[in-house]
Structures are given as structure tokens and as C-alpha cells.
Chains A and B, each alone.
Chain A
Amino acid sequence: MDLAPEHAIIAKGVVKTFRKKGRRKYGIGPKITPDELIYAVNGVDLTVRRGELFGLLGPNGAGKTTLVKCLSTLLLPNKGTAIISGHDIINDPIAARECIGITTGGERTLYWKLSGRDNLRYFAALYGLSSEEADRRISYLMKIMGLEDRQYERIEKYSTGMRQKVSISRALIHDPPVLLLDEPTLGLDPSFSRFIRSFIKKDLNQKQKKTIILTTHYMDEADQLCDRIAIMNEGKIVAVDTPEVLKRRIPQDEVLEVRCLGHADFSGIGQRVYADSVEGVTIYRIHAENVEDIMSQVIQAAHSAKILSMNVTKPTLEDVFIHLTGARLTGEDNEQ
């Protein structure tokens, strides 16, 4: 049955397309041409080892959620399939679902009129737990999540972070070997984010040896948590490796990070320049073998743009992402 016991998740050539909005509402109308399709997932191959914490990193719209939904049998791929803990998601979706715990984004995925405990009791029954088993499991989960005091209150009275803790508890209710966590820290306060990240890494991955796919668009989160990262862009995986090896793909050792008010033209300085802007401040990351050599050039080229700060840093996964996908390249045509 289990052909590759060391692999908990194997995806083979997964393609998932959607129709652009407003087309052929009730399945009638002219035939759909390929350019009217969105290739949300465009031929993804993936293997995740047992016990691995695997990151799917990519910007909004990269196709992370769609891929996770395909793996969890919520969506039917147009092409390809996946094997989860030895079960084919297309031939035996029920067996695959038995092995998966999943958190999909959004706060509305729980019953707001029911208490945290009642929510978990309901899902426990769907996963086949007897009521004694469910009680034991729920008490344990509520305890490690620090929700014991609030477990009899309705979800509508919970904060976003508490709801996310209940969602994660629900994913764990049947103690599945595989977890699919879609943006688990999205929109959370820093203290909740910190708790959830450390829970995923220390408890779920290191102690309980769960196989985890975690999607995120936070570069730091992927960097800190994941054993391996797949960088995803426009439905494709453009690179898979450990964070260290990925960062080494950028040949330079040093990055000069320059924060400016307004725009400056740093093209031609150093090896390459990446720009991004946050709340009116433009951040240039200039890669060079030795940043000291380029300092004076940078100050000259800044002209009218007011330099707020300069920092010497190491390449980050963000630089790797830009390097691989070509998105947001150089000062002028920075897409913000």
C-alpha cells in the first residue's frame, strides 16, 4: 500500500484551473478558451518526508491555498493527484481525509453560536471519536492552548487569536499524522503569532513528529520554522530547498539596505538592486560583494531623495524570492 514510507505527502503534476469571474455562470455560453482560465496551480510536484516541517512560501495569489485545498480533497485537481500517508486523494478521499488535519484561513470556519468545547465535540464525532475519547482529547487540547477558562464560552466572544487556537485544536482533534496549516498566523497579534509558531515547531513538529505543510507569505516565518521551503509563484514551484541553501543561491555575501523618502536611481550600483516601498518609504536592497566600496556611490546617486537610514545585512529569503521570480526588480519599475 505505502510505496514510499519515508514520504508522507507526494504530489504529482497537480494542475488546478479556475474560470475567470463572470464567465458561463450556469455552464452555458461559448466554449472557454485557455486565456479565460486562471492557472491557480500549474503543475506542482512535491514530496514531503515523514516528520518534515515543509513551508510553501509565496505572495498572495501564488496558489498556496488552492494547492492545500487540492491536497485536502476540497478541490478536485484538473490533472495530477497526490498520495497522503499512502492514500490517493482522488481514489480514496475519505481515507486521505482521515490522515489530515487542516486549518483553512478565516475566522468563520467555526460555529460562532457554539462554545469552543461544543465546536470541538462536534468535529470529534465527525472524525469518529467516541464521546469519552473526545472529552479526553478536548481537555488536553484546551489545556495546551491555554483556553481552559474560556472553553464554555461561545466562539463569538473569543478574540481572533483564540479562534485560531480553536481552529488548530480542531485540526488536531483526531491526532492526524499530516497537518496542512494555511497561513496559521495571518492577522494575529504578535503574542499569539509567537505562541502559534513555537507550538507548531516545538510541540507538533519536534515532539509529536507530525508532517506539516505550512503556507505563509511571511518570509521570516518560513525561514525560522521550516526544514525545507518551496517557493511558489504564479501556480508554480520555482525552488525547493532548506532556507540556508536557498539563501546561498544569491552569490553576494552582503546587502546594503537603504531607506529613502522618495525615489532614487541606484541602478548600476553593486550586483543588483531590489526596491520595495512601505508607507511612502522606499527600501532599496543593494547586493554587493563588499558594501563599503559602494557607499559613496549610493550617497551620490541619492540626489534629491532623502536617505533615512543605511544598514548592512545578509541576503534574506525575500531577496531569494525576488532573485528567482524577477518580481519587484530595480528602482524605476518597482511594482508597488
Chain B
Amino acid sequence: MDLFPSTSRILRYLRGMNAENVKEWKIELTYRADFIRGMLEPLIFVFPFVLFAMSLMGGRTSSVLEGLTGVSDGITYTIIGYIFMGFLNTAVWGMGFALRKEQWYGTLESIFVAPVPRWVYVLGMALHSTVHQGIILFFQILVVYVLFGVILNVQGVLPVLVFIALMLISLVGLGLMVSGLALIFKEGWIVSEVLYSLITIVTPIAYPLAVLPPLLQKISLTMPTTYAITGIRHFLIDENMGVGLLDSYSRLIIIGVCWIITGLLIFQIVDRKVRREGTLAEY
């Protein structure tokens, strides 16, 4: 691996990432119906969550929830958790399938002969999916504001953005892992599906950490999404943070670095395997 690239190479890698992002938008916008569906679907998916929570609590508020988290409004609690988890989608499906998609198109070899490392494409895709998810997030907040009158603390936006950025470090790592694995496993979507389910189960999206069995609670504390979602809710709707702010930020950074390193390692191993066995052009 090229650990210390020259400045001209770095410039090229950045150009490559941006080009990947732009190309993805262009291709995506040619499928107009799919694009609109992709934007609307997450909005529709919000409702079962919300209605499920309401029916269990027999209304919008719950004193039990308040006792556990400091937030009584279950609807807002769940919705915030749900919509910010959208970034997990971008990692396991967007970034994760960056290279697999090229394999489907038939363009994988064309891009692999270009003088940029393979991770440039995954990072370019990360750029694209993050912007894409940001737009969806904006509309989701708008919709839930109109429908449920969810009000958020506007002054909390800055620390929330920091939480999102730090969570994205881990998610890029996850994206690298999945995109590597998706190249060698024909049924790569199973990898995505499994990781997605595991992470969502142990992340306090619709329920607080306290209701999880002790083992899952321990696992939950190793997930970046746990700190990010709790932190985001803390600043937007005053959820109690189990872990202090600086502690949360530093744990996110540590987990992020670990996931990135794991991602790069898996990616590197898969890349060598694929170049040895010559399975690049197959799909």
C-alpha cells in the first residue's frame, strides 16, 4: 500500500473521489422514478415505527421512557433515532456496493486500471451517499415536523453535526469492509443485511439501552451508532446521556479508527485475492 503518496497523487485521489460522486449523481438521476422512490421510501418507513411505538405506549408519552431516558415523548424519541440511523444504510448499501455495482455495469476493470487506489472509489461513493442521505434527512425532519409537530433544539445543531461526522468515520470503515466482501461473495447483500440487522438491534433507536439484555448492552457499547444516536438525541430533545460528551466523542473516534483499519485490511486482502484469482470481470 502506498502509505505516503506525493501531493500530485493526493490531488488526483481527491479529483477521483469527486468524479465518483458526480458520476453517481448523473447515473442516479437518469433513473428518475427510482430516484424519487429512493427519496420517498425512507419517509414512508417512518410511520410503522411511530405507530408501533404509539400503540404500545397507548399514546404519545410514556412515563417509563421518561424514567429511563429523561424523554417522555416516545414518538419524537423513536423518530429521531430512526432517521439518523439512515446513515447506516449509506454504509452497508451505498458505499458497500460501490464496487459491486461497477461489476454489474461491467466497468470494474476500466476503473481499476486508473492510477488511483481502490479505496478512492469507496470514499467517492461515501461522499455521494452522505450528501444523498443528508437530503433525505432534511425532508424527513420537515415531514415529521408537519405531521407530528416534533420540535428540536436548534442550538443543538453544531454538536449534532460533530456526532454525525464522527459516526461517519466508523461507517466509512464499515463501507470498506462490505465493499470488499461484496466483491468476493456473490450473495454480498447477505453480508449487508446481517450487519445492518445486528447493528440496528443493539443500537438504542426505538428503545433505550437499559431494556437490552446485559450481553447486548455490552455489545451496544462498542457500536458507534449507540453513542451517535444518544448524543444526537441529547442535543435535540434532551435525552440523558449515559456517557459524558467528551467521552462519547473520544469513544467514537477510537471505534472509528478501529473500523477504518479493519475495513482497509479486509479491503486489501480481498483486492489481492481478486487480483490473484482473476474474478474481477465476473458477476
Contact = CB atoms under 8 A, between A and B. Distances in A.
Interface residues of A, number: 38
A74 B26 contact: no
B106 A108 contact: yes
B111 to A, nearest CB: 7
Nearest to A104: B109
B135 interface: no
Interface stretch (A120-128, A216-224, A304-312): A120-128
A18 B277 contact: yes
Interface in A66-83: 66, 69, 72-76, 78
B218 interface: no
A210 interface: no
Contacts of B114: 97, 123, 126-127
22 contacts: A19-B277, A72-B113, A94-B115, A94-B116, A94-B117, A97-B113, A97-B114, A108-B105, A108-B107, A110-B107, A111-B105, A113-B27, A114-B26, A118-B23, A121-B19, A125-B16, A125-B19, A126-B19, A127-B115, A128-B8, A128-B11, A130-B15
A109 B22 CA distance: 18
A95 interface: yes
Contact of A113 (B20, B30, B115, B117): B30
Interface in A265-323: none
Nearest to A99: B115
B12 A127 contact: yes
A254 interface: no
B207 to A, nearest CB: 37
A31 to B, nearest CB: 16
B107 A94 contact: no
Of B11, B31, B106, B280, most A-chain CB atoms within 10 Å: B106
A201 interface: no
A106 B106 contact: yes
Contacts of A106: 106
Contacts of A111: 23, 27, 105, 107
Contacts of A246: none
Nearest to A72: B113
Interface string B1-36: 010000011011001101110110011001100000
B27 A98 contact: no
Contact of A76 (B11, B12, B276): B276
A128 B12 contact: yes
A72 B114 CA distance: 10
Contacts of B20: 122
A98 B2 CA distance: 15
A19 B105 CA distance: 25
Given A123-B110, A170-B110, A69 B115 contact: no
A72 B112 CA distance: 9
A100 interface: yes
Interface of A: 16, 18-19, 66, 69, 72-76, 78, 94-95, 97-98, 100, 102, 104, 106, 108-114, 118, 121-123, 125-130, 154, 170
Contacts of B27: 111, 113-114
A83 B7 CA distance: 24
A104 B110 contact: yes
Interface of B: 2, 8-9, 11-12, 15-16, 18-20, 22-23, 26-27, 30-31, 105-107, 109-117, 272, 275-278, 280
Nearest to B275: A76
Contact of B113 (A18, A73, A121, A130): A73
B107 A18 contact: no
Of B8, B115, B117, B275, most A-chain CB atoms within 10 Å: B115
B267 to A, nearest CB: 15
A100 B105 CA distance: 23
B110 to A, nearest CB: 5
A76 B31 CA distance: 37
B93 to A, nearest CB: 19
Given A73-B275, A129-B15, 17 more contacts: A18-B277, A74-B112, A76-B272, A94-B115, A94-B116, A97-B114, A97-B115, A104-B113, A108-B105, A109-B109, A111-B23, A114-B27, A122-B23, A126-B15, A126-B16, A126-B114, A127-B115
Nearest to B110: A109
A234 to B, nearest CB: 17
A128 B115 contact: yes
A78 B272 CA distance: 12
A108 B106 CA distance: 5
A74 B109 contact: yes
B16 A109 contact: no
B113 A74 contact: yes
Nearest to A78: B276
B272 A102 contact: no
Of B8, B20, B275, most A-chain CB atoms within 10 Å: B275
Contacts of B12: 126-128
Contact of A74 (B16, B31, B107, B280): B280
Contacts of A73: 113, 275
A76 B105 CA distance: 23
Contacts of B31: 113
A95 B20 CA distance: 21
Contact of B15 (A78, A113, A125): A125
B68 to A, nearest CB: 44
